[in-house]
A and B are shown apart, each in its own frame.
Chain A
C-alpha cells in the first residue's frame, strides 16, 4: 500500500483519469446525464480508481490497476458501524 500523507484535509477516492476528461460547453448537459447514467456491466473493464485506505494500522493510497494479474473482489457497503 502506497504511504499516505496524513494532514488535516480529508482526501477521498475518485476514478482514475476523471480530472482529465474534457467537457465541451455545448455538450455539457448531455455529458452530465451520461455521467449519472454511467454504470458498469459484466464482461467490461472495471473502471480504474484510486482512494485513501486504512489497512493494518496505517493509511495508504490504493489503486485498482495495481492489482492487475490478480483476482479482485470489491465490496461496497453502506457504512461503518451499520448492522449487517
Chain B
C-alpha cells in the first residue's frame, strides 16, 4: 500500500487510478492514514481507501476469505473499457511488487495502443522488442526472440 502510494504520481502519468479495498471501515482507514501511513509516505496514501465490511465486493472478485473474514491480497488491472486485464492473488504474508505492476500496465497499454498487432513476450520491459503475431511468425518465434531477452 505504502509502496503503491509512493509511486502514485508515476501511475497517474500512465493515466492509472488506484483504489485500495479492505474489510476495515473508512473510519479505520482514516486513523491508519493518520497514525501510520502518513509517517511511511510523504502526505500519506493519496488514493481512495474503500471499505468492504462483510467482504461483499471481495466475494464477487473471488478474494474474500470467509474463514478469516478478510480479503486476500488481490490486485486487478482494469482497462479503460472496464475489462479486467490482469489478476494477481497472494496469501497475506507476501507483499506485491510495484515494479511488476508498472511493467504489466505498460505492456497492456502498448498492446492496446497497437490494437493487438503487437504482443509483449516474457520479461518484456519498455524499450525491449515486441512480437507481431501473424501467420509469418508461426514456428519462427525462435528467430525473433531469444530467451536472454526475458531477463
Contact = CB atoms under 8 A, between A and B. Distances in A.
Contact of A56 (B36, B46, B83): B46
Main secondary structure of the interface of B (DSSP, over half): mixed
Assign chain A's interface to a size class: 35 or more
Main secondary structure of the interface of A (DSSP, over half): loop
A62 B78 contact: no
Interface string A61-84: 010110111111111111111101
A38 interface: yes
B145 interface: no
A84 B78 contact: no
Interface stretch (B22-30, B113-121, B129-137): B22-30
A71 B77 contact: yes
Contacts, number: 205
Interface of B: 1, 4, 11, 14-33, 36, 46-54, 56-63, 68, 70-87, 92-96, 101, 105, 108-109
23 contacts: A10-B25, A10-B53, A12-B25, A12-B51, A12-B56, A13-B21, A15-B56, A39-B61, A41-B84, A43-B84, A48-B82, A53-B26, A54-B29, A68-B80, A73-B19, A74-B21, A75-B74, A76-B20, A76-B63, A77-B73, A78-B22, A78-B92, A79-B23
Interface of A: 1, 4, 10-15, 18, 35-36, 38-49, 51-57, 59-60, 62, 64-65, 67-82, 84
